Amino acid sequence: MNRLEQSILKNLIYNDEYTRKVLPFIRAEYFSDNNERLVFREVFEFIHKYKNPPTHEALVINFTEKKTLTDTEVSGAIDLLKEINLAKNEPSETQWLIEQTEKFCQDKAIYNAIMESVGILDDKNTKKSKGEIPKLLSDALGVTFNNNVGHDYINDSDSRYDSYHRVESRVRFDLDLFNKITKGGLPVKTLNIVLAGTGVGKSLFMCHMSAAALAQGLNVLYITMEMAEEKIAERIDANLLNINLNELHTISKDDYNRKFETVKAKTNGKLIIKEYPTAAASVLHFRALINELQLKKNFIPQIIFVDYLNICTSARVKPGANVNTYSYIKSIAEELRGLAVENNVPIVSATQTTRSGFTNSDPGLEDTSESFGLPATADFMFALVTNEELEGLNQILVKQLKNRYSDPSYYKRFVIGVDRAKMRLYDAETSAQDNLADSGQVDDKPLNSFGNRERGYNNKFEGFKV
C-alpha cells in the first residue's frame, strides 16, 4: 500500500484536527486500491452519521456485519485496518500532511479527469458528451483545500474596508437610470429578472440589452426558447443597423453589408444566439453549450440572456414529477443563478405577470406568475408597464420590485423611451419623470424618527409627462 495513502487513512481515524480540515475535500475515487476505497467510505459514513471519528473496533465490526461485500472484500478491508492500527502511534506533522494530502487530491483529480476524458473520446462513456471534457479538466484543476472559515469582523476590518472601495466588475447599461439604480450596471454572479405582460417588451428589452452589450465589445450568449434564432437576430439587426424591422426585408444586400461592416468594425465582442425547443432545455443543456462554445469557437460569454425562465425545464425536478409550480419555478431560478455564479457572469431572464397583473398599472412582486419563489431568488427584478397613454408617448414605465445592488426606493418608478420599429430603448427626457411618484431622489421624502427617508411617501400614481 502507498505510504501516503496509509497516512491519510490513519490520520482520518486518529487525528481529529487533520480530519476536520481535509475530510470535505477527499473523494473515494482518489484511492486507486479497492481496500483503501472501502475503508475511506466506511470512515466517511461513520463521521457523517455520528460526527466523531470511528474507533478501530467499530470499523472492524461494521465490515464484519456488511452483507453487500464479498468475503474477500471484508477480509482485505480488515487486514488494511490492522496495518493502520499498528502504525497509529507513529508521529506525523499535521500541517505537512495536510499540504501533502492537498497535492494528492489535486494529482488524483487531474488523473481521473484525463482518464474519463479518454473514455468519452473512445465512446466508452455514453452518458457524457465531448463538450463536457473542458469542464471535467477545469474542475480537476480547481481542486484545492479552502482554508477560509468565515469573516472575522474584528481582525478582517482592513479587507472589509477594501471591499467597500473595490471597483466591482459590472456590465453597464446604455440607459442612464438603469445604471443609477444598479450603481453602474449588473454585477457578475447575479440573476436579473424582467417582469412584464405578453407583448409589453420582455424580449425587446433583452434584445436591446444584448445589442448594447455587443456594442461595448462584450461576448453575449442569447438563449431563446420562445422565438427562432433568426427572429432574435432580426431584432438585434434592427437595433444595431438603425433600420425598421420592415425595411430589413426590402434593403439591398450591398446596403445591408455596408451597414453591417460599420457595426462589425466598432466591436470586438461576439453574439451567439442558440434556440432550444420550448420547455425542453435546462441548465444542463446551457452548461454543455457553454463548454462546447469554448471548445469549438473559443467563446466565453460575459453576459447571458435566457428568453425566458418560465419555459425552461429544471435539471433537478424530473418532468411530470408531482411538484407544485412554486417549487418548480424556484428550482429553475436557483439553477440559473448557480450557472451565473459558476461562469462569473450576470444572467438576464424574464417572467410573465399574472392575469390580474397584466392590467395592473402598478405591479408588485405578488404579480409574478406561477411562483413567488422566483423573486425570492432573483438579485434584481423590475416590471415593465405600458398602456395607451404610454404607447402614444413612445414610453415604457419601469418599476423596481427588488434590488440587491441599491436602495429600491431611489428612482422606484421612471420611464424610458421605446422605438418598437427599431427594437430600441433610449433615455427619456428629464421632464418625463417629473410627475412620477418615487421617480426622483430619495431626498425628496420626509425624515422619519430614525433620521431615514420614509418609503412609500407620495406613492400615488399621478400620470405621465413628456
pLDDT tens digits for 435-461?
A: 775 655 544 444 444 344 444 434 444
Q: In terms of pLDDT, which residue wins out, 452 or 137?
A: 137
The residue-averaged pLDDT of 167-192 equals 91
Mean pLDDT of 409-417: 91
User: What pLDDT sits at residue 38?
Assistant: 93
Q: Are 358 and 197 in contact (CB under 8 A)?
A: yes
Q: What percent of the chain has pLDDT over 90?
A: 50
- Sign of the Cα torsion 168, 190, 274, 198 reads negative
Architecture of domain 3-141: Orthogonal Bundle (1.10)
Nearby residues of 183 by Cβ (< 8 Å), 6 or more positions away: 170, 405, 406
Question: Which DSSP letter does residue 54 get?
Answer: P
* Residue 176, C-alpha cell as written in the block: 442612464
d(CA 135, CA 271): 22
- When pLDDT is averaged across residues 13-40 and rounded to a whole number, the result is 91
pLDDT tens string 227-261 = 899 999 999 999 999 999 999 999 999 999 999 99
pLDDT digits (tens, 9 = 90+) for 81-101: 999 988 888 887 888 999 999
Location of each CATH 3.40.50.300 domain in the chain? 170-444
15 vs 369: which has the higher pLDDT: 15
Q: What is the pLDDT of residue 447?
A: 41
Which H or E run includes 348? strand 346-352
Average pLDDT, the chain: 85
Calculate the alpha carbon distances from 414 to 168, 186, 200, 270 in Å: 25, 18, 16, 31
- What length is written for the chain? 466
CATH 1.10.860 intervals, the chain: 3-141
- 239: burial class by Cβ within 10 Å (0-12, 13-18, 19+)? buried
Count of CB atoms situated within 10 Å of the CB of 281: 21
| Cα 311 to Cα 319: distance, rounded to the nearest angstrom | 12
Domain 170-444, CATH number (from 3.40.50.300, 3.60.10.10, 1.10.10.60, 1.10.10.10): 3.40.50.300
Beta bridge partners of 174: none
